[in-house]
């Protein structure tokens, strides 16, 4: 059982962000089991309690100190307008908040929505955006759930809603007319955590997980005379690890490379004569 001082971390109870959040926590060394509809899970080794909550409620739970940390969408934090610490951008759950209308509608820009009804679960963001863009007389109607279908039902003239792939818009005969903001999963924290030291240790673990997601480990054999060329291609985080091989004409090199650059780097290494190039995924990296 968790103690009153143990960290409490809120994660989404379902939906697009839950899988990434749980993978992140497990990568940071938290061991727990998810039991059906149970709304919390305790980590036996650390005492940390994982709270499963509606993604829109997590910013409020964090701001009020009910939990110490929370994984939610950056759009949810902005919508709630609460006072929390933004600790980390997590690199998953990317999406955008967009204005969409029926594909056959006469609206071609947000200005055309003056005096119209717009449905959204992000009322604050929608109102602020229309005001900032001088679109007057818009009635923003709060709708939770299947917002897209409300245009087809005739309840609203347009929607302001989260878009990931755009498939849901297409399926409901909607098109985007403007983008309000880009969003992704973020780790937020309370201004007064139960245990600041434990919070900081956990954040360092999270940094290790995020770094591992960003980098790969490359290992390759390099001709001695091409060491300078290879080092210029793969300078590494601080510097590459260089080891002599049984054949004195060759060296073994280990180096961290950003994943987004791996294929380009491998091509360049081959061009200077490097061989036996291996890429290995990292699970954790303290940089």
- 287 band by pLDDT with thresholds 50, 70 and 90: confident
**Is the CATH code 3.40.50.300 the one for domain 8-93+184-194?**
no
In the block, tokens 């890429």 appear at 279
Report how far residue 162's alpha carbon sits from residue 247's, in angstroms, rounded to the nearest whole number. Answer: 58
Domain 216-281: which CATH class?
alpha beta
Report how far residue 131's alpha carbon sits from residue 126's, in angstroms, rounded to the nearest whole number. Answer: 9
- 5 band by pLDDT with thresholds 50, 70 and 90: low
Q: Is the pLDDT of residue 4 over 50?
A: no
Report how far residue 217's alpha carbon sits from residue 211's, in angstroms, rounded to the nearest whole number. Answer: 12
| The predicted structure's pLDDT at residue 141 | 95
| The predicted structure's pLDDT at residue 2 | 46
Q: Does residue 89 contact residue 184 with C-beta atoms inside 8 Å? A: yes
Domain boundaries, the chain: 8-93+184-194, 95-183, 216-281
Two structure tokens written together for 155: 């309840």
Q: Please write the tens of the pLDDT for every residue from 89-138.
A: 999 999 999 999 999 998 888 899 999 999 999 999 999 999 999 999 99
Q: Please write the tens of the pLDDT for every residue from 50-94.
A: 999 999 999 999 999 999 999 999 999 999 999 999 999 999 999
The residues near 112 (Cβ < 8 Å, ≥ 6 apart) are 106
For residues 10 and 237, which has the higher predicted lDDT (pLDDT)? 10
| CATH number of this structure's domain 95-183, picked from the four choices 3.30.70.141, 1.10.443.10, 3.30.450.20, 3.40.190.10 | 3.40.190.10
Nearest partner of 214 among 261, 177, 272, 168, judged by Cα? 261
Sheet containing 117-120, strands listed edge to edge, beginning at the edge strand earlier in sequence: 139-142, 117-120, 158-163, 95-102, 174-183
Q: Please write the tens of the pLDDT for every residue from 233-242.
A: 999 988 999 9
């Amino acid at each position: 059982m968790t103690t009153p001082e143990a960290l409490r971390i809120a994660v989404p109870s379902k939906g697009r962000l839950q899988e990434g959040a749980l993978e992140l926590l497990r990568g940071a060394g938290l061991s727990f089991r998810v039991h059906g509809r149970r709304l919390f899970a305790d980590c036996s080794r650390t005492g940390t309690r994982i709270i499963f909550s509606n993604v829109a409620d997590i910013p409020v739970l964090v701001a009020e100190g009910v939990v110490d940390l929370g994984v939610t969408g950056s759009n949810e934090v902005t919508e709630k307008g609460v006072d929390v610490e933004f600790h980390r951008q997590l690199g998953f759950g990317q999406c955008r908040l967009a204005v969409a209308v029926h594909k056959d509608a006469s609206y071609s820009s947000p200005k055309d929505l003056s005096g119209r009804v717009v449905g959204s679960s992000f009322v604050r963001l929608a109102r602020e955006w229309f005001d900032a863009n001088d679109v007057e007389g818009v009635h923003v109607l709060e709708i939770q759930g299947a917002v897209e279908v409300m245009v087809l039902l005739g309840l609203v003239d347009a929607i302001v809603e989260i878009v990931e792939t755009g498939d849901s818009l297409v399926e409901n005969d909607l098109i985007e007319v403007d983008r309000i903001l880009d969003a992704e999963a973020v780790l937020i924290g309370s201004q007064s955590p139960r245990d600041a030291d434990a919070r900081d240790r956990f954040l360092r673990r999270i940094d290790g997980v995020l770094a591992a997601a960003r980098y790969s480990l490359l290992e390759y054999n390099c001709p001695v005379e091409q060491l300078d060329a290879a080092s210029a291609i793969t300078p590494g985080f601080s510097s590459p690890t260089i080891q002599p091989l049984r054949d004195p004409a060759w060296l073994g090199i280990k180096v961290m490379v950003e994943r987004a650059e791996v294929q380009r780097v491998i091509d360049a290494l081959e061009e200077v004569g490097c061989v036996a190039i291996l890429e290995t995924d990292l699970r954790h990296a303290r940089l």
